[in-house]
Structure 1
Amino acid sequence: MWLYYFQLGLRSLRRNPALTALMVLTLAVGVAASVATLTVLHVMGGDPMPHKSARLFVPLLDNGPLQGYTPGGDPRQRDRQLSYRDASNLLRGGQGERRTAIIGVAAAVAPARPDLAPFAAYGVAPTSDFFAMFEAPFRHGQGWSPADDAAGADVVVLSAALAEKLYGTANPVGQRLSIMGFAYQVSGVLAPWQVVPRFHRIVGGRGAFGEEEDFFIPFASMVRHQSEHYGSTNCNGPPTPGYQGLLDSECTWIQFWFESAPGGRAALQAYLDNYADEQRRLGRLPRHAPNRLYNVMEWLEFLKVVGNDNRLSAWLAFGFLLLCLVNAIGLLLAKFSVRAAEVGIRRALGASRREIFRQFLVETGVVGLAGGALGLLLAFGALALIARQSKELTVVAHMDWAMLAATFALAVAAAVLAGLLPTWRACQVTPALQLKSQ
């Protein structure tokens, strides 16, 4: 019977193609606007590592002075990075399954090829745990070892794009490359690695939706060479001059991540609190502010990666969809009202109100499917226009299978919702009155 109603719906839509096209277009425009906006919001606010994001934590310690401090203030006003002293101590503490400090690096790369001039590249200096912690995919070779961390070895992992630029399709593992004027040996090459958002390097990096890093060198190697870092630095006062002065200061300029065992958050929090108490006995951390741990999703919320403006845009898009639904309701009322005679005859021949209701509801569902198909095409077009605005928007303006299914579900649900009132009105037709008028 449902198939029969579906066939009736198709025939009905062909009777008045202009009105049908107007209904489908109205629904498609509303669906496309809401789905395109929702897709961008879905990608921006998605969990980049759903299987382990609850076990990755950013620790924050407030090492600022008492002057100007208001207890219980907004935690977002606090520093979002650690000092070198705290980062080094947490690395040596050995807590969690893995741990890494991360510093941004802007460096001059001097290729061995005579046809390539030196150029600037941007990377990070983490520890060896970084690659396993964030599951970076390797195309060639591997990362460096903890022994390389301890020695501050001059080894480097290249991104796929930089390796292709320097060596083409050849495997460059074992080659030497001049970075910042020092000879680094290539230990590995990553496969293309697009994490959305790039949660591990938002503060001081290329942003949550920026391009991937060009290269990775050991944290200790960068410090050993006293290389200038790339990123934000927050100091409560001028540090002692020189690189060692920066290392000894309370300036915050290093990102830090822990990976805990399942259920290990409480142990990490206890360790962080004990560490802060120990540092206070040494005369540091005078504010006695709460020590905080943020997992991946909490960190994205803390940094407001998806801002209120993005959420407002989504609500406005759904408001536009509601306006389109109101228009669709009016068109369906007009369409069904001219079929009162048909409904009266069917009722006189024995069709129940329930059967009439099913028939017209299936017909609105057919409109929804057509509107979903057209809305999907319009949504792809809207996302393509969004992606052309900037490289960052290119990362978020793409539709996955979940949003693809949601497009059709939203279109059919919207059409059925719009058809409830017109369908109910059609079911109220009195057969006797319609037969007398014929």
Structure 2
Amino acid sequence: MRRGLLSLAWGSAQASASLTLASAAWLVSGLTASPLINSLLPVLATAAALLPLPQQPLLGSLLQLLATLLLLAIGLHRHNLDPATATASATGAASAAVGGGAVLPLALALLAVLLFGLGLQIGQLPLQRFLVGVQGISMRRLRSGSELGALLGHLLTALLFPIGKAVLQFSQALVLLLPLLPAALLSRRPGHRHLPTRSGPDLASAASSTALTASAATAVAASTAVAAAAGANPGGSVSLNWRCCLQGILFGSLFGLLPLWVRQLGGGSCFDFGMVLTAYGLGRLLAAAGPAGSLPSPPALVATAALAGPWRLHPARGLPYLLLAFTLAGTQWLPGWGSLVLFLPMGGLAALSDARLVATLDTHPDDSATDEPLRWQTLARSSGVGALAGSLLMGGTAQLLGLPLALPLQVLAFAAAAVPLSLAGRRRGLA
């Protein structure tokens, strides 16, 4: 198979994942308005990345297909409901409690998300290794496909719902997932199995200026990146970093309840929700396309932190989080499309904070400072743990105090986190 076709197939699969998970998040928010139950969705999608599961690309793809088919069946069931009920579920406010008729669809939707997360965890990392290590696709090209695919998936989330509701969303997600199946079959050949995380200087140099993970526009979409990059590492374990965990808590708590915020507080539709994700993803994409030299190299940052001494403040590191707090608050001050536009710089700031954390991560003592894939895996795994905790924390808080109070608390959390994330730690924790 030609590299161009494989790159397109990879991007198509990322579009399918973001479309499936974002559409599932909107579907669940229509079945129940309970913040705690809604916060379970990113938890179920992300938790699989924390389990020691086997790496089987074909099995992973089949699990994703099964999960999408299950979500499609739920969409068909909702479509066949009484028109008034279906319309209220699609555009209006869902009831705070789960009605008797929604218990089974809700349980099946959560199960489908869990299966989809398992499929990502089992299949995406070996597929990445196969595409980069065997097919010779550059990491920059693979990452561009991931970013563009995720952006396309979120745009389709917005555009397809007004036309055909969840049925069209999940059926299109199925179509987008199919092109990667031949690559999954090809990677099962004996000579292509158990590829190491680092396959010599070529892979390391190809990865030196890019990332292993796709963009994370929501905590749900973040699970795509976590599952893709935080899998089993045959060459060594992937450690956790507390700064990456803290950042994961911030974004997990924010995006875990985003569908409810759009639906309940903003009175928006799935189109609005999808456009918010698209603006955020576009911001990440534009930031990732910026000049590679805009961030200092890891050795330079390590030396700077060493001169500053342990646990000294580096205000520039905390600035993105203060700006995120300001822009998040601004979404409540500006009406309509004005608040939507603010998610564009939010995506850029999130990508900048990711890059700075990765640039300053120190890995195991026997690893080179240029082992960027391992640092991105550390970010992905640590952020996944944090996102899991943050989503549950904000969901429980909103359940107790009410959804309107959750957003001001989120703004305060971003502002407060700027202080610990500005610290220059000791040798292992300079991020």
What range describes the TM-score normalised by the shorter chain of this pair?
under 0.3
More strand by share: 1
More helix by share: 2
Greater relative contact order (CA < 8 Å, ≥ 6 in sequence): 1
Higher Cα Rg, which structure: 1
